[in-house]
Amino acid sequence: MKLIVGLGNPDKQYLNTFHNLGFMCVDKVAEKLGAEFKKEKFRAKLAETGSGDNKIILAKPLTYMNLSGESVKEIAAFYKVASKDILIIYDDFDLKKGFIRIRESGSAGTHNGMRNVIKELGTENFPRIRIGFKPVEPMIIPLIDYVLSGIKDEDKPLFSAATDKAALAATDFAGGADILSLVQKYNGKSNA
């Protein structure tokens, strides 16, 4: 069984923001797997496909970013998903715009949502896909305002390609691919 979680914020005003790259990606994973977000349970929107050991649960926590771990913990506990089978997809300011980075484990860095996931799960030992959005040009607004700002039209193809690539990696993970092979195959810049 696999649990794939995209981090984001549920309200409409956040739809096209950097902080919702995780939601955007997990929507693409659902499309690739033919799953639909029909359920609302454990303070998350859920989509499911497969059965038994081959069951795949996709989740978009509705707790808002900074409390994402509370929802992830509830889902993982209910379905008895081991931490190695939980994949978290999220935006990362510490990574260059348009790059994706897959890791088997690690700290939260500057990401409050991931900090909460680690706290609630009680471990850093779960795989993650980070989608970078660090701007090339110097920032003139505070980071909190930047992460919640809209993705510019000229950058949409780049982030669409990055979330496509991350979704392919997540789909491979759902199919049983090991993390090291995903690292070798997908880490780096998207092809936009």
- Is 40 in a helix, a strand, or coil? strand
Residue 111 annotated to the active site: no
How far, in Å, CA of 66 to CA of 53, rounded?
Answer: 31
Residues in Cβ contact with 18 at an 8 Å cutoff, skipping those fewer than 6 apart? 91, 93, 133, 146, 147, 148, 149, 151
How far, in Å, CA of 16 to CA of 24, rounded?
Answer: 9
Which residues on neighbouring strands pair with residue 130, listed in sequence order?
Answer: 90, 101
Which is catalytic among the residues 2, 4, 5, 19? 19
Choose among 85, 99, 93: nearest CA to 128: 85
**What is the full DSSP assignment across 94-118?**
EEETTEEEEESS---TT-HHHHHHH
Tell me the catalytic residues.
19
